[in-house]
Chain A
Amino acid sequence: AQSVSQHNHHVILSEAASLELGCNYSYGGTVNLFWYVQYPGQHLQLLLKYFSGDPLVKGIKGFEAEFIKSKFSFNLRKPSVQWSDTAEYFCAVNFPGSSNTGKLIFGQGTTLQVKP
């Protein structure tokens, strides 16, 4: 069965530290990949997405992610976090052309706490 896993459930960083959140999925076919962010009290917002092309994608607020097909991974990175990055981060995968077409499968989420 297709699944998505996020390795870190709770991450605490100081401001200016670098961030990397892991995301792996299980499926050998075509995937569309997403990172969503949920700031406290707000709704899920799209950070970035990968459909095809350059596997290194840049999103809003200085975030980027790299799709490594051989590792079934789509890790999220930011070189220097800010206190305002405190939020919950979700990796999500869509499997076009499969029995789960149209169904976003989410990881469990990672809570990021940035200390000022």
Chain B
Amino acid sequence: EAGVVQSPRYKIIEKKQPVAFWCNPISGHNTLYWYLQNLGQGPELLIRYENEEAVDDSQLPKDRFSAERLKGVDSTLKIQPAELGDSAVYLCASSLGPEGTQYFGPGTRLLVL
């Protein structure tokens, strides 16, 4: 069974540029999550989707971050414009329902110069 797929794996951009990350969850998983992981810390939830609906985006900085999951399968997370402090690893995870075990993708490591 294929795991959670994320791309790109690495991204280097200059500040104020836009950037987008893509995630394809495990087949059949209706719940999708985006997490932010700073160096030396545990992941922190940015947004959770149940199918195509964002049911928890309270931690998403909406002035510059946006996300979508139009068909309830894959998802895109965007930052525009990026700031130096956005340098981190962006993780996608999926599960069978909000209380199921979450399985993580490899993450996208973002460096903003």
Interface check B70, CB cutoff 8 A: no
A46-70 toward B: CB 8 Å interface, digit per residue (1/0)?
1001000000000000000000000
A-side interface size class: 20 to 34
Interface check A115, CB cutoff 8 A: no
Interface check B73, CB cutoff 8 A: no
Rounded to whole angstroms, the CA-CA distance of A107 and B55 in the bound complex is: 23
Interface check A72, CB cutoff 8 A: no
Distance (Å) between the CB of B25 and the closest chain A CB?
14
The segment out of B16-24, B61-69, B75-83, B97-105 that lies at the interface is: B97-105
Q: With A43-B104, A96-B99 given, is the CB distance from A102 to B91 under 8 Å?
A: no
Rounded to whole angstroms, the CA-CA distance of A16 and B58 in the bound complex is: 45
Q: With A102-B48, A102-B99 given, is the CB distance from A43 to B42 under 8 Å?
A: no
Taking a contact as CB atoms closer than 8 A, the residue among B44, B56, B99 that contacts A32 in the complex is B99
For the complex, count residues of B whose C-beta is within 8 A of A. Answer: 23
Neighbouring A residues of B111 by C-beta, 8 Å: none
Taking a contact as CB atoms closer than 8 A, the residue among A92, A101, A106, A108 that contacts B40 in the complex is A108
Please state if A46 and B103 are interface contacts (CB–CB under 8 Å). yes
Please state if A103 and B41 are interface contacts (CB–CB under 8 Å). no
Rounded to whole angstroms, the CA-CA distance of A97 and B93 in the bound complex is: 20
Please state if A102 and B106 are interface contacts (CB–CB under 8 Å). no
Please state if B42 and A109 are interface contacts (CB–CB under 8 Å). yes
Please state if A44 and B104 are interface contacts (CB–CB under 8 Å). yes
Rounded to whole angstroms, the CA-CA distance of A1 and B41 in the bound complex is: 18
A91-103 toward B: CB 8 Å interface, digit per residue (1/0)?
0101010000111
Interface check A34, CB cutoff 8 A: yes
Distance (Å) between the CB of B6 and the closest chain A CB?
9
Rounded to whole angstroms, the CA-CA distance of A21 and B42 in the bound complex is: 15
Rounded to whole angstroms, the CA-CA distance of A49 and B104 in the bound complex is: 15
Given A96-B98, A96-B99, A108-B40, 4 other A-B residues pairs in contact with their CB atoms under 8 A:
A43-B105, A104-B33, A108-B41, A109-B40
